[in-house]
Structure 1
């Protein structure tokens, strides 16, 4: 039986979007190692409740208008001041509040990319960014990461070849230099400086996704790429990891001409002005650094629990880089393994993860898996990793048994 949608044609540029990491599972006892969510018990609920009351009581009638009350400007000023901690100096007209950092990625793609333009990314990369670039009908080229982040040497070789052979230079390079999602690695200072030099020499933008930089477990400092070449960087950050993702507020920092173009594309006008009013009330007098320190303590302990559980459950069947911040551990299995093959079995056994292929622009990444340590409890981490190991070893046994059956007697 046909439906109205059988006769309806959607835009061809809309990419297929399968569910990621069994995110549709709703069983109450399911362990979601796939969810890149913040820990809910660390949300400042009491302070937000008071802030929401104050926003309504003091500014409600103005805050509910299109342009809002004083909250949006206070948020810009807070972002400006907090950015100084990380070495970023920006005027207010260089800052734009976004619907999370993901809208910033989408805006960058729509500002800079025409169909057929080139964008270069890390391999692996953030799947929502890849989706945005595919929707923009860009040509995506990817470059591997190692324990020091993006292989800038390979990227430089590609630029040299493009220059010699009159091939396209990327309009921009999308990178997560600090506590990479999913890889967990951090771009070294030497590579940061070289990448900035290449952006200047070859005249391309860098879209710097810095969503996890506040969650610094080691105390080691890494300069944002924006501080090295501000005229060539579109810097993105978010309140999702440090206050709560449900706020759907992030920000973009860039040259004022870039921000002017981004505002033209933001057809809805100001972003969540009433939410900004609440957040402004929260941040006024909020012990933000103490809050961040609490997040760092909790997430670093979660990371250690997961790392120990992985080593105990998998032994030498996997390798991983111990992240110095962020939310994720990126497992690498043997080359013969396809983590997609036991994704469903693991979900049926009670645990979800994200298979590696979801993070790659091409058909690759099969021996990898992303695990998130931020959302679930320590007990759930240990139990979830054990279940995942059971699913993997069952897959391995079945694979080896199948191979044995096919061997001649």
Structure 2
């Protein structure tokens, strides 16, 4: 496979010989316009997923008003769609100041970038109008190139579409595959937003156990092998957070990912890969200060293989997000899957969110494409990993100093934003003889949460993340090193430690 620098050069050559991007409103676009000539060479097409679609998806069509706008002649006079003329928009330009040098550690230089009405690179008038569900050509081009460079999906007909953030994207993905009453497979502990969102669609979550390497492929296989379809629908959707898992911070090993994919092939599962922490890798500091191509290549080479990069049949739906790497308020991300699934996703978008925010897309394009380019974006991601590694080390040092180790235990995460703390309630002065009951585990976990709040630190209860609230096996706490300022990290853990000692009668 070509190096990062070689791939970037190839895309720059492609751009130089391509036609200018359209600047009109809701311009039709697709990843196929922007892939390299090597993207599909020697690769097979994805399999059909007709048999996995929900009842609603099988009848989901596109809006005729939207499809009528595709491929229109540049001289076309538009009398068909009620898109207000740009002359009625009270905004003439949009200017933001952004970090210019992504790798600068202090006093980061900034540059001012402006998008104006009539601009050839990205017409603000188009960004302020109704948009195309997949996103603007400018946005789709950049993320398509990015996905090919980082993941290089091993089948031919993959596509990328922008989302209004992962929460919105997941809601539509579940609608594509699930009917009310269906079951989906998730990690025992999972993101609460996904659990609540699934239940809102009357979708049940089936927990699968985890270990230090992530979701258990063996338990996944056993659960499916022994499923009693006479009682409820056998699940065929697996939702997983494979890197820096929220809340446990576990990262699936390479071997575990391959085992899970093998089980997915065996049972014909759809894998929904929610991976917002993929680029936040903990470990030795990168060599960004050298400014060398080798330093960036080393960072990319250390990234774990995504399920998308292992997918030979088009069964993976990957969700990326700007929330953890740029800004949550942009409400942007991108979904990558086979053409059949992405086309359905865009059809759902047309009748719900319509399209991602135009001004947000302008801000992303002006930063990632016009200011940083692919090299600068990767440099920023490596820089974030360095910053978060430093924050993690500060938190771990505080844990060693302030948490009683005979009661609290934790593992050092490889990725993400969290430290998962297990609490041994058998050391509590009121602990019953024998194995602690579920009720006692929850009582102590709740007491630690309340005492921590009283001491001035907000933490998360581990039980909040249980896919099945009845499957309590431990009292646990989740703390993040991403939200507080660096000077606040140690005092925050100290306040948590004080709460533990108070609850366990050590003070």
Structure 1 CA distance for aligned equivalents of residues 468 and 272 of structure 2: 21
2:409 alignment partner, SS class: coil
Measure how far apart 1:365 and its partner are: 6.1
- RMSD between aligned alpha carbons? 2.7
Measure how far apart 1:87 and its partner are: 2.3
8 Å contact 1:119–1:138 — kept in the other structure? Answer: yes
Instruction: Compute the TM-score of the two structures, normalised by the length of structure 2.
Output: 0.65
1:213 alignment partner, SS class: coil
Measure how far apart 1:191 and its partner are: 1.7
8 Å contact 2:158–2:337 — kept in the other structure? Answer: no
Aligned residue runs from structure 1 range 271-310, under 5 A: 271-283=356-368, 284-286=370-372, 287-310=376-399
Structure 2 CA distance for aligned equivalents of residues 56 and 348 of structure 1: 52
The reply on whether 1:73 has 2:137 as its aligned counterpart is yes
Measure how far apart 1:293 and its partner are: 2.1
2:381 alignment partner, SS class: helix
The answer for the alignment partner of 2:475 in structure 1 is: 367
The reply on whether 1:249 has 2:332 as its aligned counterpart is yes
Structure 2 CA distance for aligned equivalents of residues 213 and 55 of structure 1: 34
The answer for the alignment partner of 1:322 in structure 2 is: 412
Measure how far apart 1:164 and its partner are: 9.5
Moved more, 58-67 or 130-139: 58-67
Measure how far apart 1:395 and its partner are: 1.5
The answer for the alignment partner of 1:383 in structure 2 is: 491
The reply on whether 1:349 has 2:438 as its aligned counterpart is no
8 Å contact 1:121–1:174 — kept in the other structure? Answer: yes
8 Å contact 2:187–2:467 — kept in the other structure? Answer: no
The reply on whether 1:394 has 2:459 as its aligned counterpart is no
The answer for the alignment partner of 1:27 in structure 2 is: none
Moved more, 184-193 or 339-348: 339-348
8 Å contact 1:216–1:326 — kept in the other structure? Answer: yes
2:227 alignment partner, SS class: helix
8 Å contact 2:131–2:355 — kept in the other structure? Answer: yes
Structure 2 CA distance for aligned equivalents of residues 272 and 321 of structure 1: 39
Structure 2 CA distance for aligned equivalents of residues 149 and 308 of structure 1: 25
2:388 alignment partner, SS class: helix
Instruction: Compute the TM-score of the two structures, normalised by the length of structure 1.
Output: 0.80
1:269-310 CA distances to partner (integer Å, 9 max, x unpaired)?
Answer: 111122112211111231212212221111000001111111
8 Å contact 2:272–2:317 — kept in the other structure? Answer: yes
Measure how far apart 1:93 and its partner are: 7.0
Q: Return 5+ residue gaps in structure 2 as ranges.
A: 1-104, 284-298, 427-440
Q: Which is greater in Rg?
A: 2
**Larger RCO (CA within 8 A; separation ≥ 6):** 1
CA shift in 2, pair 1:178/1:303, >3 Å:
same
Structure 1 CA distance for aligned equivalents of residues 486 and 125 of structure 2: 44
8 Å contact 2:157–2:339 — kept in the other structure? Answer: no
Q: Which has more helix, going by share of residues? A: 1
Structure 2 CA distance for aligned equivalents of residues 397 and 78 of structure 1: 56
Structure 2 CA distance for aligned equivalents of residues 357 and 145 of structure 1: 15
8 Å contact 1:178–1:186 — kept in the other structure? Answer: yes
CA shift in 2, pair 1:134/1:55, >3 Å:
farther
The reply on whether 1:131 has 2:165 as its aligned counterpart is no
8 Å contact 1:340–1:366 — kept in the other structure? Answer: no
How many residues are aligned here?
Answer: 355
1:180 alignment partner, SS class: coil
